[in-house]
Amino acid sequence: MSKTYKIADGKIRCTLCPHGCLIGEGASGICRVRKNVNGTLSLPYYGVLSAQAMDPIEKKPLFHFYPGSRIFSVGFYGCNFRCPFCQNYHISQQVVEGAAMTDPARLVEAAACRDSIGIAYTYSEPVVHYEFVLDTAKLARRQGLKNVLVTNGYINPDPAADLLEYMDAANVDLKSFNPDFYRKEIKGSLDPVLAFIEQAAPLVSLEVTTLVIPGKNDSEAEIQAIADFLASLSPDIPYHLSCYYPTYKYAVEATPPDLVLRLAEVAREKLHYVYAGNVGTYETDTLCPECGVVLIKRRGYSIQITGLSEGTCSNCGATVPIVG
């Protein structure tokens, strides 16, 4: 169990994420899944899954980690953010009682007997299920499976260090570079997410995603700031920009593909690998940053490795940071 502090009157302080919830007896934290039971922090939803499926690794999205492979993907309930545009709100913003339960050993076995490179913790926010994810990831690694975290990055540095030790790859959802957006729209804060990205960058195969929402986080200045930040860590970090569509509490119009394509061009001024998702063009191919040849051709989830040879561009010999 992640570290907690007992406070007077039976209350406890959860220190897993920057919310630092003070939780009274019988109550849950903001994430809805971590609960004070008799003065002890418990995870009553340990092993409760909302979804499981075999997915292309590109769906996470991870484009530079075992391209063309498939991964056994599992989701949970609950989240420590309150995004009004959440595309998975039916599992992130509620907990369904009586859902299917599993345990780490069964989950690892299920992944191992499929044609999967490992396990992806995804769909809703996995870090609030920290103990289950950590237990499963340790077991999966012992079996030679890869662990992939798809997260909002809202976790404190100490538990993050323990989790990242067992992760091989991560995609972090960087929702904006505007602290006000994080505070007002999401009910969180930006700085811890940036700190998590900095922490994860040298430890795992890291990719970052921003869902572009018209009028909310779509200025060139904001995408430029994100690209500057990522480039300061490494210009090789793959960056995904994707189109939003109206859902949950947002009625903002869907993102025009041209907007995402233009913002991708802005990000490419600083980053070597920028991908525009859901735009109906071929902006998801991986090109060599030195000579421009197509290294990996993507048509939906059909993947062809066309110009890579042992981690280098087969045309010009440039080193290409792709794992697997």
129 near ligand SF4, judged by CB under 6 A: no
29 near ligand SF4, judged by CB under 6 A: yes
Q: Binding pattern to ligand SF4, positions 190-229, x when CB under 6 A? A: ----------------------------------------
Per-position b or e across 106-138, b if 16+ CB within 10 A of its CB: ebbeebeeeebbbbbbbbbbbbbbbbbbbbbbe
80 near ligand SF4, judged by CB under 6 A: yes
- 22 class by beta-carbon count within 10 Å (0-12 exposed, 13-18 middle, 19+ buried): middle
The DSSP secondary structure of 269-310, one letter per residue, reads TT-S-EEEESSSSSTT-EE-TTT--EEEEEETTEEEE-SEET
CB of 14 to ligand SF4, least distance (A): 3
CB of 135 to ligand SF4, least distance (A): 17
CB atoms within 10 A of CB 148: 29
21 near ligand SF4, judged by CB under 6 A: yes
14 near ligand SF4, judged by CB under 6 A: yes
Which residue, 231, 241, 226, 156, is CA-closest to 196? 156
128 near ligand SF4, judged by CB under 6 A: yes
CB of 29 to ligand SF4, least distance (A): 2
How far is Cα 324 from Cα 223, in angstroms, rounded to an integer? Answer: 29
The amino acid that residue 129 corresponds to is H
Q: Which is nearer to ligand SF4, 31 or 48 (CB)?
A: 31
34 near ligand SF4, judged by CB under 6 A: yes
Per-position b or e across 203-228, b if 16+ CB within 10 A of its CB: ebbbbbbbbbbeebbbeeebbbebbe
Q: Which is nearer to ligand SF4, 195 or 252 (CB)?
A: 195
83 near ligand SF4, judged by CB under 6 A: no
The amino acid that residue 241 corresponds to is L
Q: How do strand 308-309 and strand 312-313 relate by DSSP bridges?
A: antiparallel
126 near ligand SF4, judged by CB under 6 A: no
134 near ligand SF4, judged by CB under 6 A: no
Per rule CB under 6 A, count of chain residues that contact ligand SF4: 12
20 near ligand SF4, judged by CB under 6 A: yes
31 near ligand SF4, judged by CB under 6 A: yes
Helices 220-233/190-200 angle, 10° precision: 40
311 near ligand SF4, judged by CB under 6 A: no
Region from 27-35, 92-100, 174-182, 247-255 binding ligand SF4, contact rule CB under 6 A: 27-35
Residues binding ligand SF4 (CB under 6 A): 14, 16-17, 19-21, 29-31, 34, 80, 128
